[in-house]
């Protein structure tokens, strides 16, 4: 029998934390390159991921030529997660990280796969259950900005390719800090800013031309993939995100550029 995920109230998004882009007018925020009423962004992001959930992994392989698996493997190795630990994977989507963490923490540990989007969470839940990995897993529909967990609950919190879709990123980082145990770490794997200008130009051409085209052909949804490309450009760059993590209370923060800075893995500790 399928294991249901625990539906939680999903609070409206309240503000935009993007600190290296022009501020939106009061009561509004960024949705890709659009300016929309703050209260509508969560709904619009949800519509994107409801649309792409069934083809999400196929598109990830196509868009990155499979390299997203190497980025995630690097994050898993950097997690240093051990048997018996408690792990929270936010915006865990189809469950790539949760699958690896489930095997590493063993039957004495616990992995919570959380996602604000019911469609993505359902795909991840079904995939992991079909793989026989439900014994130490929980599935929770949750908003990263107000995580429904007690203080000091997790040894590790991860969010892979999800933070850029959160409107109030500062609130989300504070929430992640709150639920971490002292000594715990946060890993944020996210698209970032290429470090070389020639690479940035090639990446822009790819993102705004080929990416929507592939989205139309494979997922019959060019608009959603155009938004995803725009959301990457609106996300804080490496140094800005590091500063946001510092402000949220994390210590010993650092980041590692992957594939020339197209992706960065940020790390911070709660000491």
Predicted confidence (pLDDT) per residue in 5-56, tens digit: 454 444 433 333 334 444 445 578 877 877 778 777 777 777 777 777 777 7
Q: What is the pLDDT of residue 8?
A: 46
Q: What is the pLDDT of residue 30?
A: 78
Q: What is the pLDDT of residue 9?
A: 40
Q: What is the pLDDT of residue 7?
A: 43
- Assign domain 6-194+228-269 to its CATH superfamily: Vaccinia Virus protein VP39 (3.40.50.150)
Residue ranges for the chain with pLDDT beneath 70: 1-26
Give bridge partners of residue 35 from the DSSP assignment: 30
Distance CA 29, CA 39 (A): 9
Chain position carrying tokens 């946060």: 186
Cβ(179)–Cβ(156) under 8 Å? no
Spell out the residues 6+ positions from residue 164 whose beta carbon is closer than 8 angstroms to its own: 190, 191, 231, 232, 234, 235
Cβ(195)–Cβ(222) under 8 Å? no
Domain ranges of the chain: 6-194+228-269
Q: How much is the pTM?
A: 0.85
Phi–psi pair at 10, nearest 5 degrees: -110, 105
Cβ(168)–Cβ(15) under 8 Å? yes
Q: What is the pLDDT of residue 12?
A: 36
């Amino acid at each position: 029998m399928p294991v249901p995920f625990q539906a939680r109230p999903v609070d409206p998004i309240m503000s935009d934390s993007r600190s290296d882009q022009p501020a939106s007018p009061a009561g509004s925020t960024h949705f890709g390159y659009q300016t929309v009423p703050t209260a509508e962004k969560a709904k619009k992001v949800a519509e994107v991921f409801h649309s792409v959930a069934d083809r999400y992994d196929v598109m990830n392989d196509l868009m990155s030529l499979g390299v997203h698996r190497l980025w995630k493997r690097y994050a898993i190795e950097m997690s240093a997660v051990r048997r018996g630990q408690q792990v929270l994977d936010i915006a865990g989507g189809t469950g790539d990280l949760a699958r690896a963490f489930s095997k590493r923490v063993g039957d004495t540990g616990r992995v919570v796969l959380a996602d604000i989007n019911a469609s993505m969470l359902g795909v991840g839940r079904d995939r992991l259950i079909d793989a026989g990995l439900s014994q130490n897993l929980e599935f929770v529909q949750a908003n990263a900005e107000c995580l429904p967990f007690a203080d000091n609950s997790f040894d590790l919190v991860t969010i892979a390719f999800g933070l850029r879709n959160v409107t109030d990123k500062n609130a989300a980082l504070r929430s992640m800090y709150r639920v971490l145990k002292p000594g715990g770490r946060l890993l944020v794997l996210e698209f970032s800013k290429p470090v070389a200008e020639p690479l940035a130009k090639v990446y822009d051409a790819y993102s705004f031309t080929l990416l929507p085209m592939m989205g139309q052909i494979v997922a019959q949804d060019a608009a959603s993939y155009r938004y995803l490309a725009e959301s990457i450009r609106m996300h804080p760059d490496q140094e800005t995100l590091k500063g946001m993590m510092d402000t949220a209370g994390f210590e010993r923060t650092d980041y590692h550029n992957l594939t020339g800075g197209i992706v960065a893995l940020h790390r911070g500790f709660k000491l």
